[in-house]
Each structure stands twice: as C-alpha cells, then as structure tokens.
Amino acid sequence: MRHARIIGTGSYIPERLVTNADFDRLLGESVGDWLVENVGIRERHFMADDQVTSDLAVAAGRNALERAGLQPHDLDRIIVATDTPDYLSPATAVVVQAKLGASRAGAFDVNSACAGWVIALDTAAKTIVTEPEERFVLVIGAYGMSRFLDWSDKKTVTLFADGAGAAVVGVSSQPGWLATVTAANGEYHDALGIYTGGTYRPATTANIAEQGPSRVQFVRKFPATFNTERWPPLIERLLAKASAASGIRLQPDDVDHYYFTQVNLRAIEATMAALKQPLEKTHWIMDKWGYTGSACIPMALDDAVAQGKGPEPGSLVLFCASGGGIALAASLWRWQ
C-alpha cells in the first residue's frame, strides 16, 4: 500500500519587525502589556511594500524543498492555503508554480481561513495515497494580512502578521498520515473576515466609498472560549477515528507533539490542561511572529524542527486548527 508522510518543512518570516512598543506609539495608548498577558504576542513581522503573498509562499516552499532534498521540477502538485491571495482570481498557487519554476506541478488554492493548511495537508495526503503517478506535493500556508489591516483598529492591527510555512508530502511504505477530521460553525461566517471584494460586496467605487477598502474586520463577537471548548472534542474525534483505522486505542497521552492555531497562547494552555497534557508537548511562535493565520501551524512545526524540538521518528504529531467561518480541522501523523 502507498502511504503519505511529511518529508520536509520550511518557513519564511519577512524582515520588517514591529514590536508592541511600536504599536503603543502608533495608537497613542498602551496595548503591549494587554497583548502579552492575554494572547502572548510581543512582536510580529510584516512583508515589504514590494512583496506579495506568493513571494512569502515561494520562500517557504524553497526551504521545504531543500529540507526534503528535492527540486521544483520534482513536484507533482502545489497546494496553497491562504485567505489573503495575490488576486481574487486566479489562484495564488499558480503564481507560486511559475515563480518556483515547478513546471510539472498542478496547482490550486484552499481557502478555509486559518484552518486551511491542515485541510490542504489532508488533501495532499489523500492525493499521495490514491494517485500512483504522483510522488511529491508541496503544501504551503501563506498569510499577507498586513495588506488588509486598518491601522487605527487596535483590535486587529496588533494581532495579525505576515509569513509562510510549508511541508512536502511524499510517498512512504509505512503509515505517516493516520486520520483527519473537520468541522464548522457556519453561523459565525459574518463575524470575522474580509467582506469587501467578493460577490456579497464587490469592490465597486460605491462600496469602497461607503465601506472603505477591503480590510479584515471583527463585525460581531463570537465566544471568547470557542477554541478551548471545541478543540478538545475535535481531538477526541480524531483520535477515535485513528484508533478505529489502526485497531490501536489512542489517547491524548499517546500524542507526542501538538501544534495549534497560533492566535492565543492562553487558549493553547487551556486546551492542553483540558487534555491533561504537559505544555512541553506543544510549541508556539505567536510571541515573536504574531498571528499568521493559515501559515502559523507549519511555521510552528518548522520552528520546532529548526530548534531541535521537532518530532522524532516514530512520534505521533497532531495538528489542530480553527479559522474564520468558523472552520476547524485536526490531523494526526506518524513522523518518519
């Protein structure tokens, strides 16, 4: 049987550094202490004026390919998870394909907001398992949210950041990908997002005059405890599914590494406590890189690998994500 495994990771962080102190000065009030205490963010990075989302994706993709010992022409598919694309259409993935020079690769985008990379990773795994002619899929999460920030809105401008993370999924003789589950709470589709630019509110002169340019907005509240309430049962579903497939009962204790959406360190702490797991089993990056949406989980994974804290061969790795909509996804892998 064909199986899928992660054979290389990569990430890219833009050079422009913006600290909490910078926002204290910009906004004319102290926000840094609140950010550290409530979400764990100390600083973040934004892309340069001449960069776009595909540039971040290409840089992360090249790093992942290098780690995997591959060249762009080795790729069979490129999947980009983003909700900050270069264009509304065509897909950012085709731009990445051109910039990488991956002429053999098919390419498409996945937009499930910040849950997108985990869903794209699942798509890549199923491609490897079911398509005998395909051997390597590059899965990239890329985020250029700085282009959609209202710099006077302290609720958004201090949280979001730019970056990209990537993984190469390849063929294995042993199970790497074990299971994935997804969920959604679509009643919150109008709570947080970028609402100008699609068919609902086209970017016409009239709409821009009335609503302003396309920007990320908190339109209405959703439960502050959403992630801490929904991540643990999502993980339970995932472990039950993987247990049924393998015939081996898996519990939270059996998971060696947890990687969560990097929006709030307190939510990660609370989730690990609910699962009765030590915090050492997870890894976070929002303190130094801010919230990078669909890119944050592969960025956290690659940062752990770079620091020597990454998964060891044979360890169980769990990815758990949530994003606007609200979309959720969790995936379990055996590291090889």
Contact (CB, 8 A) for 217 and 194 = yes
- Domain residue ranges in the chain: 3-174, 179-185+220-334
Separation CA 168–CA 224 (nearest Å): 34
The angle subtended at Cα 311 by Cα 128 and Cα 329, nearest 5°, is: 55
CA torsion angle 149 45 55 194 (round to 10): -20
pLDDT tens string 273-306: 999 999 999 999 999 999 999 999 999 999 999 9
Q: Which pLDDT score, from 0 to 100, does residue 181 have? A: 98
pLDDT tens string 218-259: 898 888 899 999 999 999 999 999 999 999 999 999 999 999
Task: Return the CATH number of 179-185+220-334, one of 3.40.1170.10, 3.40.50.720, 3.40.47.10, 3.40.50.1820.
Answer: 3.40.47.10
Rounded to a whole number of angstroms, the distance between the first and last alpha carbons of the chain is 16
The mean pLDDT of 69-79, rounded to a whole number, is: 98
Whole-prediction pTM: 0.97
Q: Which pLDDT score, from 0 to 100, does residue 4 have? A: 98
pLDDT band at 310 (very low <50, low <70, confident <90, very high): confident
pLDDT tens string 197-228: 999 999 898 888 888 789 998 898 888 899 99
Handedness of CA 94, 97, 103, 106 (dihedral sign): negative
Q: Which pLDDT score, from 0 to 100, does residue 212 have? A: 79
Can you point out the beta strands (E) in the chain? 3-12, 16-19, 43-46, 77-81, 106-110, 136-144, 162-172, 177-184, 192-194, 216-218, 257-260, 316-323, 327-334
Instruction: Tell me if the domain spanning 3-174 has CATH number 3.10.290.10.
Output: no
pLDDT tens string 117-165: 999 999 999 999 999 999 999 999 999 999 999 999 998 999 999 999 9
CB proximity list for 245: less than 8 A, separation 6 or greater: 178, 179
pLDDT tens string 80-122: 999 999 999 999 999 999 999 999 999 999 999 999 999 999 9
The mean pLDDT of 311-332, rounded to a whole number, is: 97
For tokens 């804290």, name the residue: 309
> Is there a common fold for 3-174 and 179-185+220-334?
yes
Separation CA 288–CA 161 (nearest Å): 10
The share of the chain scoring above pLDDT 90, in percent, equals 93
Whether the predicted pLDDT of 1 surpasses 90: no
